[in-house]
Structure 1
Amino acid sequence: MEDRKRDKLVNRLFYVALAIMVGVYTYLTVKTFAPVKAYIGDEVWYPTAAYNYLKFIFHVTPPMYFPYSNESGIATYMNYSHPPLAKFIMDIFIAILGYYPIAWRLPSWILGDLMLIVAFFLGSSLLGGGKIGKLGGLMAAFMIAMDPNLWLLHGIAMLDIYVSFFAFLSFYFLMKDKILLASIFLGLAAASKEPALVLIFPFLYYVGEVMKSPLRRTIYGIVIPAFAYLAVSSPIIAYTGGLIQWIKIKYYHMVAWDITNGHIALSAVSQISTPWGWFLDIHPFYMGHGFYANINPLVMFLWLFSTPIAFILREKKMIMLTMFGWTEWLGFLAVYFLGNHTMFSFYYTDFAPFVDTYVVVSLFALGKKMLARKPSKDVRAEIPQIPK
């Protein structure tokens, strides 16, 4: 009875620690980003496009307490080069609070907090629960909270935190064998930004391993995510004149855009980075107002060198965790070799939670394995033997 009471108390302490972490994270977020009454980085494009969605698609015009950015054609800009979900979510807050920096940043702040909670439960689950599992989950949440790239991108109104969160949540449900929810959230990740599209490959593999049915693999791995994507995009499809016209626009604005240079002038060397350069935090993107999209090289190299641990331990779920991260990294690498040499360090945020969580989980799992193999001390050997 005493043991059960003690276990309940320890569990509550873990939840209290998580709540404190989320509370501090929220406080520092508001303190850091709320005072900046200006566009930060690519906020010049996305909140403005969100407001234009309200104005032109939904015929709603909330009060503008803040002016449009100074970009050319911004008053009619619709950002067809990226899927619409993140802008739709911003629209909810803009419709309620008006067009103002805090309104368009609030959803990113909320997703950043929720990501810490998902990391805690995912890490705990992958490590088998218990005290060690919960400690690992808490450390995974802490690793994400300390990630400089996630910190910046969750604080501002850009798209990467949306794809990052929904992909991470999809993975959590996948590992809990809640395949329908995992499929839906994978579609929502893709509806936030296109880097999530490559996650279809590890997702299909895992679903096939679980269900052993080509039909169900197709339904859950392709049909449902595609349906979620199209459902989110339906207002844009209707606005652009139907499915065929929308597909043409998507090809021109998204596919052609993503595999060519043009995101920034090639001469802006200090702003451009490469997927392999992210391992050394080469040319972190400057967002203005003193904000840089830095990447922690120590975590990146820990991820690189700890990836074999999952395969050595033959832990299928750990393998999937690291492969989700590597799949997105390889997707960016492919885009680079297809012709887009204007890439940025903040793209790392799209798969950062997989990296941070895997590093913690793999090291904890290795430690548990080593402790389990340690021979127990033979107490009988220490007892003096009476001669016969």
Structure 2
Amino acid sequence: MKEYLALFVIIAVFLYLTYTIASLPGSDGLPGNGGYISDEVWYVTSARNILHDFFKTPANSPYYTTTLDCLTNESRIVKEYVNINAVTVTGNVKCYIRRGFPYPDKEGILSYYNFEHPPLAKYVIGLMEAIHDEPLFWRIPSMVLGAATLILVFLSARRVTGNLWALAATALMIFDNTFRAMSGIAMLDIYLAFFTALLVYLHLSGRLLGVGTALGLAASVKYSGVFPLFGLAYLYGRRGVWGFVAVFLMAMSVFTLVNMPIAGQLGIQRWVHEILAAISWHTTSRPPGPIASNPLDWLCMHNSFALYTSPDIYASGTPAYLVALVYALYKRDDVSILYLSTYGGYWLVYLLGNHTLYSFYTTHFSPLAHILIARLLSDIARRK
């Protein structure tokens, strides 16, 4: 009972800290009021566009982004754009392009779907926009998934260590600047972290089809969600090919099912083309922009991505990544293999030619690193 009370306290502290991030005003939304944080400008807006164009549902909002010829005497302009041939208004309009919170002033944003990444997280964000299209609502799923990931880390670490060290590792996640920050922002990586943590928990529980389902869901958030597949191939391959085949087929089925609303309207040919284009995009360096980093930088907490300024919030990570990596190379148990596989996947992308990686990608493998930290602490305690 005491361990659950301690876990509750950890989760409560974590949610308070993530709420302080989620309640930041952001920018490029309503003039003089709230707006978007970091890359929310791409994910939140593409979610709104998918909601409108693929699910035929407008966001629930008093704001309309439209053209001047659609205005009426009751329309009140609240935002004008430089890079978009439109205005955002409240009040009655004769027609509109999009209903929802004012868009960031980005060229082409009104028809942007973010096909560089699969759609699952954008479905969730779009659902929140259908309920109420305001910044805090976009970020609620991230906060919930961040807390749920901590619970999965505790449950997984308890399986390999015990309550004390599982609690210690879970508490350490509060000090992971990247994981904590991404749990308060409507971006994709916290969804990826949750499904990867779920995969590890289900693997340790011996639930083969559950592992495949979690892998398929992770891959439906970002294509990097497939990185644990290399480790799973090794782990299941030692026991016979059919276990890995079952995981792979389940993952493919889940991925296809999640993508059906997109593929159904685009057509299979264009959908496949978009996937191939995304793979090409992910293995090619992009033009200069935010501070890029390589996977070695992440271990040394160098070249951190700036998520917000004033207050300054950086995706600066934690020393736990490096400690866990060294321990994983020594231990080489199941969680170690999955950690090495997931982290190594980013090195593969880097070596294939994409040198514009960002430090917030570490959100993906932070749960695995902290499960390993629990095992390390337990090993140290037993040797004393």
Task: Output the TM-score relative to the length of structure 1.
Answer: 0.83
Higher helix fraction: Structure 1 or Structure 2? Answer: 1
Counterpart residue number, 2:170: 141
The answer to whether residue 364 in structure 2 is matched with residue 350 in structure 1 is: yes
Name the stretch that deviates more: 142-151 or 324-333. 324-333
One-letter amino acid of the structure 2 residue matched with residue 49 of structure 1: S
2:14 corresponds, among 12, 25, 35, to 25
What CA distance in whole angstroms lies between the structure 1 residues aligned with 2:328 and 2:244? 26
Counterpart residue number, 2:104: 69
Contact 2:17–2:180 (CA under 8 A) maintained in structure 1: no
What CA distance in whole angstroms lies between the structure 2 residues aligned with 1:14 and 1:49? 41
Counterpart residue number, 1:276: 296
- The superposition leaves residues 100-158 of structure 1 with CA deviations (integer Å, 9 ceiling, x where unpaired) of 1111111000000101111111111112xxxxx10111112112222111011111011
The answer to whether residue 49 in structure 2 is matched with residue 52 in structure 1 is: yes
Contact 1:55–1:61 (CA under 8 A) maintained in structure 2: yes
Q: Which runs of 4+ in 1 moved over 4 A?
A: none
Counterpart residue number, 2:251: 225
Counterpart residue number, 1:245: 270
Contact 1:46–1:79 (CA under 8 A) maintained in structure 2: yes
Counterpart residue number, 1:153: 182
Task: Output the TM-score relative to the length of structure 2.
Answer: 0.84
What CA distance in whole angstroms lies between the structure 1 residues aligned with 2:322 and 2:343? 14
Counterpart residue number, 1:122: 156
Q: Is the radius of gyration larger for structure 1 or structure 2?
A: 1
CA apart distance, 1:309: 4.3
- The superposition leaves residues 251-296 of structure 1 with CA deviations (integer Å, 9 ceiling, x where unpaired) of 11x111001111x41xx4x711111111221110112332211122
What CA distance in whole angstroms lies between the structure 2 residues aligned with 1:228 and 1:75? 29
List alignment gaps of at least 5 residues for structure 2: 26-33, 64-100
One-letter amino acid of the structure 1 residue matched with residue 35 of structure 2: A
What CA distance in whole angstroms lies between the structure 2 residues aligned with 1:349 and 1:216? 28
Name the stretch that deviates more: 284-293 or 152-161. 284-293
- The superposition leaves residues 230-254 of structure 1 with CA deviations (integer Å, 9 ceiling, x where unpaired) of 100110101212x2221112111x1
CA apart distance, 1:366: 4.0
What CA distance in whole angstroms lies between the structure 2 residues aligned with 1:156 and 1:284? 17
The answer to whether residue 312 in structure 2 is matched with residue 300 in structure 1 is: no
What CA distance in whole angstroms lies between the structure 2 residues aligned with 1:229 and 1:260? 24
One-letter amino acid of the structure 2 residue matched with residue 55 of structure 1: H
2:284 corresponds, among 245, 252, 260, to 260
The answer to whether residue 207 in structure 2 is matched with residue 184 in structure 1 is: no
Counterpart residue number, 2:374: 360
The answer to whether residue 241 in structure 2 is matched with residue 214 in structure 1 is: yes
Counterpart residue number, 1:172: 201
Counterpart residue number, 2:228: 199
Task: Find the residue that maps to 2:306 and give its secondary structure.
Answer: strand
What CA distance in whole angstroms lies between the structure 1 residues aligned with 2:209 and 2:159? 19
- The superposition leaves residues 290-333 of structure 1 with CA deviations (integer Å, 9 ceiling, x where unpaired) of 2211122x32332233224424xxxxxxx221222221222111
One-letter amino acid of the structure 2 residue matched with residue 307 of structure 1: A
What CA distance in whole angstroms lies between the structure 2 residues aligned with 1:279 and 1:346? 12
Q: Percent identity, aligned pairs only?
A: 30
Contact 2:21–2:181 (CA under 8 A) maintained in structure 1: no
The answer to whether residue 120 in structure 2 is matched with residue 85 in structure 1 is: yes
Counterpart residue number, 1:326: 340
- The superposition leaves residues 3-34 of structure 1 with CA deviations (integer Å, 9 ceiling, x where unpaired) of xxxxxxxxx11101111111121122223321
The answer to whether residue 352 in structure 2 is matched with residue 338 in structure 1 is: yes
Task: Find the residue that maps to 1:206 and give its secondary structure.
Answer: helix
Counterpart residue number, 2:306: 286
- The superposition leaves residues 201-220 of structure 1 with CA deviations (integer Å, 9 ceiling, x where unpaired) of 211232344xx442342122
Counterpart residue number, 2:129: 94
